[in-house]
Copies of this chain bind each other. A is one copy, B any other.
């Protein structure tokens, strides 16, 4: 059963959780001065509108009409009751998922790529640079740039560029320019290549290249796909729609809201609008890979956002900015830190975090595909594992429970991982 809102029912404002957090957000710290970062520090990289959203305490932030027009190409996304999965689990729980895989890029990422590109365009920027690992973020940004007529330059980790060509092709189909990183286009890239001409790259190097590209060209800004407050803000359309759709389904509030957590943006998107309902018993759950257990085994302290140590420091759970996670298939969850807003909630006990090895995660993905049909992204399958275990717990307890999770993206460009799992080549690391 799917619950579908009309295109006139897309939320017209983003929900800002700032005023509802257990403790006030800690400011980013300038890596050179040790002082809080000010708007002027960020201005070479981001438009003022986004810098303003980063520190806004307004309860709601209006979504511009031009952004709504584009979001309406796939939003509101469906809320689906997973009855066949419920039946297979023989659970009294009712499982709902919000299907963010229906966007052109196949994930929740365009929800923030579109407004980010829009605000840049309004401020006269004509070109955006970013980094991408496996390509989820890069493809979403290329799509958004194409929509508003901006150039898009993407530094893609060289290993992924060569081994996972499909998302590179997606970027190019939408007119984006993509080079393997390290590249000879930047000082940062050339330095690495001089040291190691065969370097297969890392997200840290790619970030350095994209930031340098943006900082050294007046027509160009930088764009980030997760972690920062304004990115999480843009994703709240997910939870706001889900709330209305649960009402449409005759449900009150959910008992538990679940999302996978890499940088935190898809989790924030579905969970933040439910933070004010914590007192009414809504539990929030972050699911991460045990191979990169930031929230469950990291330390809560100021750390750099990138591996190279060039960005402002953020107060968050971190495994250390030098942490290199093993090469699990959920590439989007391989991040040493997490969004400060998510960490704030977890630190104060307002959100629970659990970690799973990838074998258990792929078992859940297969069970979902064989009951409901769609094949989830490996990242998304973490949330599915969490939802299935909640449903099994409800059966044990003999309780009806309403479970809501974010189906953040499809796995059609990740079928190599399924091939490994189905043929016994996937190992838990």
Q: Which residues of A contact B (CB under 8 A)?
A: 1-2, 4, 6-7, 72-74, 84, 102-104, 106, 143, 146-147, 165-166, 169-170, 172-175, 366, 369-370, 372-375, 412-413, 415-416, 418-419, 422
In the bound complex, do residue A174 and residue B7 qualify as a contact, i.e. CB atoms below 8 Å apart? no
What are the 5 closest A-B residue pairs judged by CB atoms, nearest first? Answer: A104-B373, A169-B415, A166-B415, A169-B419, A412-B412
Q: Which residue of B lies closest to A374 (CB)?
A: B104
- With beta carbons under 8 angstroms apart, the residue of B72, B106, B369 that contacts A174 is B369
Copies of this protein in the complex:
2
Chain B residues contacting A73 (CB-CB under 8 Å) are 2, 84, 372-373
Chain B residues contacting A422 (CB-CB under 8 Å) are 169, 172-173
Task: Give bound CA distance, A415 to B7, whole Å.
Answer: 30
In the bound complex, do residue A174 and residue B102 qualify as a contact, i.e. CB atoms below 8 Å apart? no
A-B contact pairs, 10 of them (CB 8 A): A2-B7, A2-B73, A73-B84, A74-B373, A104-B375, A106-B412, A146-B370, A166-B416, A169-B419, A173-B366
Chain B residues contacting A172 (CB-CB under 8 Å) are 418-419, 422
Task: Give bound CA distance, A2 to B170, whole Å.
Answer: 23
Query: Which among A146, A366, A374 has the highest number of chain B CB atoms within 10 Å?
Result: A374
Chain B residues contacting A166 (CB-CB under 8 Å) are 412, 415-416
Chain B residues contacting A2 (CB-CB under 8 Å) are 7, 72-73
A413 to chain B, nearest CB (A): 6
Task: Give bound CA distance, A1 to B75, whole Å.
Answer: 10
A3 to chain B, nearest CB (A): 9
Chain B residues contacting A104 (CB-CB under 8 Å) are 369, 372-375
Task: Give bound CA distance, A102 to B416, whole Å.
Answer: 21
Q: Which residue of B lies closest to A422 (CB)?
A: B172
A366 to chain B, nearest CB (A): 7
| Known A-B contacts A169-B416, A373-B104, A419-B165; A4 and B4 likewise in contact (beta carbons under 8 Å) | yes
| Known A-B contacts A1-B72, A102-B102; A369 and B173 likewise in contact (beta carbons under 8 Å) | yes
Task: Give bound CA distance, A415 to B169, whole Å.
Answer: 6
Task: Give bound CA distance, A167 to B146, whole Å.
Answer: 29
Q: Which residue of B lies closest to A411 (CB)?
A: B173
Task: Give bound CA distance, A123 to B74, whole Å.
Answer: 41
Chain B residues contacting A373 (CB-CB under 8 Å) are 73-74, 103-104, 143, 147
Task: Give bound CA distance, A23 to B172, whole Å.
Answer: 48
Task: Give bound CA distance, A28 to B372, whole Å.
Answer: 38
In the bound complex, do residue B173 and residue A415 qualify as a contact, i.e. CB atoms below 8 Å apart? yes
Chain B residues contacting A4 (CB-CB under 8 Å) are 4, 6
- With beta carbons under 8 angstroms apart, the residue of B143, B170, B372 that contacts A415 is B170
Chain B residues contacting A175 (CB-CB under 8 Å) are 370
Task: Give bound CA distance, A18 to B45, whole Å.
Answer: 64
| Known A-B contacts A7-B1, A102-B102, A104-B374; A173 and B418 likewise in contact (beta carbons under 8 Å) | yes
Chain B residues contacting A173 (CB-CB under 8 Å) are 366, 369-370, 375, 415, 418, 422
A96 to chain B, nearest CB (A): 14
Chain B residues contacting A72 (CB-CB under 8 Å) are 1-2
Query: Which among A169, A375, A422 has the highest number of chain B CB atoms within 10 Å?
Result: A169
A250 to chain B, nearest CB (A): 15
Chain B residues contacting A366 (CB-CB under 8 Å) are 173
Task: Give bound CA distance, A170 to B7, whole Å.
Answer: 32
Chain B residues contacting A147 (CB-CB under 8 Å) are 373
Chain B residues contacting A370 (CB-CB under 8 Å) are 146, 173-175
Q: Which residue of B lies closest to A110 (CB)?
A: B373
Task: Give bound CA distance, A374 to B410, whole Å.
Answer: 14
Task: Give bound CA distance, A146 to B371, whole Å.
Answer: 8
Chain B residues contacting A165 (CB-CB under 8 Å) are 415-416, 419
Task: Give bound CA distance, A106 to B419, whole Å.
Answer: 19
A179 to chain B, nearest CB (A): 14
Task: Give bound CA distance, A173 to B371, whole Å.
Answer: 11
Task: Give bound CA distance, A414 to B150, whole Å.
Answer: 26
A358 to chain B, nearest CB (A): 16
